[in-house]
Structure 1
Amino acid sequence: MGHIHKVTPLTENKHLNMYAIDATSKIGTPVHYFVSSRAESTEGLKLVTGKNHPDGVVIYSLYGEKKDRVVLVRQYRYTIDDYIYEFPAGLVEPGENYREAGIREMKEETGLDFEPFKVDKAYEKPFFTTIGMTDESCATVYGYACGTPSKCGLEDSEELEIVLADREEVKRILREEKVAIICAYMLMHFLHEEEEPFGFLQEEL
């Protein structure tokens, strides 16, 4: 196992920072590594705290009387200078429960009312996103959305379309569009569980 000797903050931003790590590998050779993090200081890094609190929340929600559509956003991202399909998502604010964050973010991004339901903790605990680059982790909340889509709650920096996709549209999206990987895997599951997409959540692990 490697050993970390020093962590140096390189930026001072509100939502995302870069840190330099000086370490040695398992055989004692020097290692210089960089990590991005939602932490605003070195003390908040997960490699320091040893805790895995959710930085963000991802919302997997079904829509419609028959629960046969899934709520997506088609969002412009500067990282690829293009649009990509994702689940509604956002950061968990200090002191906020991630389920509460899911309700708030769904309303802000889509105008829809979201009702999460409780599942086994193993299904919604925070999982890491891109561990080779960042210590960010996100919890997933599952539930049902209703209401009329609206973009009134968006910030000026957010550029997205609200998509209520049925299975045919999901097939097209997976074939033809850019899709975030977490969203893509869930959409594949949605396609093949027509009777009860959330049936797997009823089981305890």
Structure 2
Amino acid sequence: MGKINKVNKQTTNPYLNLYDLDVVNKVGREGHYYVASRAKTEDDLKLSHAENNDPDGVAIYSLYGEKKDRVVLIRQFRYPLGGYVYELPAGLVDPGENYHTAAIRELKEETGLKLEPIVVDDIYQKPYYTSVGMTDECCGTVYGYASGEISKKYMEDSEEIEVVLADRKEVARILKEERVALLCAYMMMHFLHDEEPFAFLHTTK
């Protein structure tokens, strides 16, 4: 198994930092591995706390309309892509904040809609890692029903977001033609093919 000898913080930024790890791989060769993290210090990295699975962020999979036949998506400009990508509404969890509370807050901020979360088994909502080849970030998922009117009143100036209430026909088009974030794509596939989009949440072993 590989070993980490030393952690060197490379940047000091508000929301994301780069860490250079001095490592030894399984055959004893020394090298460097670079990790992007929400952690403010070396001690806050998840590699320093194996038991720490506190979510850095939360994603919201919500249905809209009287028939619950539309899914709430956002089409957001992202600098790393130099363009727009379809995503689930999402955001960072504040220190000490419950991620279900964060989901309600984030949906309101990004879309103007009110979220009514539903209770699901922990295996579907607990924090999972987003891209472990480059970051230790993990995010929880909150499911529920959205209501109200779309509004940009609560949106931050740094956010460039179009709210999309997509039916199955539009979801199919987006998956076929547009750039889509991975978690969003998986949830859209459930929405597209499952008669009851939340049916999978009621299946546990």
Q: How does 1:18-33 map to 2 (within 5 A)?
A: 18-33=18-33
Identity %: 62
1:200 is aligned with what amino acid? Answer: F
Secondary structure at the counterpart of residue 191 of structure 1: helix
Secondary structure at the counterpart of residue 22 of structure 1: strand
What is the Cα deviation at residue 204 of structure 1? 2.9
Paired with 2:119 and 2:41, the residues of 1 have a C-alpha distance of: 33
Are residue 61 (structure 1) and residue 71 (structure 2) matched?
A: no
2:204 is aligned with what amino acid? Answer: E
2:165 aligns with 164
2:122 is aligned with what amino acid? Answer: K
Are residue 189 (structure 1) and residue 202 (structure 2) matched?
A: no
How big is the alpha-carbon RMSD for the aligned residues of Structure 1 and Structure 2? Answer: 0.7
1:154 aligns with 155
1:200 aligns with 200
Are residue 15 (structure 1) and residue 18 (structure 2) matched?
A: no
Residue-by-residue CA offset, 1:14-57 (whole Å, 9 max, x unaligned): 11000000010111110211000000111110000111110000
What is the Cα deviation at residue 96 of structure 1? 0.4
Paired with 1:180 and 1:36, the residues of 2 have a C-alpha distance of: 18
1:81 aligns with 82
1:150 is aligned with what amino acid? Answer: S
Secondary structure at the counterpart of residue 155 of structure 1: coil
What is the Cα deviation at residue 203 of structure 1? 2.6
Give the TM-score taking structure 1 as reference length: 0.98
Residue-by-residue CA offset, 1:122-165 (whole Å, 9 max, x unaligned): 10011111110100000000000000000111111100100000
What is the Cα deviation at residue 67 of structure 1? 0.3
Paired with 2:122 and 2:181, the residues of 1 have a C-alpha distance of: 23
Which 5+ residue runs of structure 2 have no aligned equivalent?
A: none
Residue-by-residue CA offset, 1:71-129 (whole Å, 9 max, x unaligned): 00000000011000000000000010000000000000000000111111010011111
1:105 aligns with 106
Paired with 1:15 and 1:130, the residues of 2 have a C-alpha distance of: 17
Paired with 2:119 and 2:204, the residues of 1 have a C-alpha distance of: 11
Which 5+ residue runs of structure 1 have no aligned equivalent?
A: none
What is the Cα deviation at residue 69 of structure 1? 0.1
Give the TM-score taking structure 2 as reference length: 0.98
What is the Cα deviation at residue 202 of structure 1? 1.7
Corresponding residue pairs, total: 204
2:133 aligns with 132
What is the Cα deviation at residue 189 of structure 1? 1.1
2:2 aligns with 2
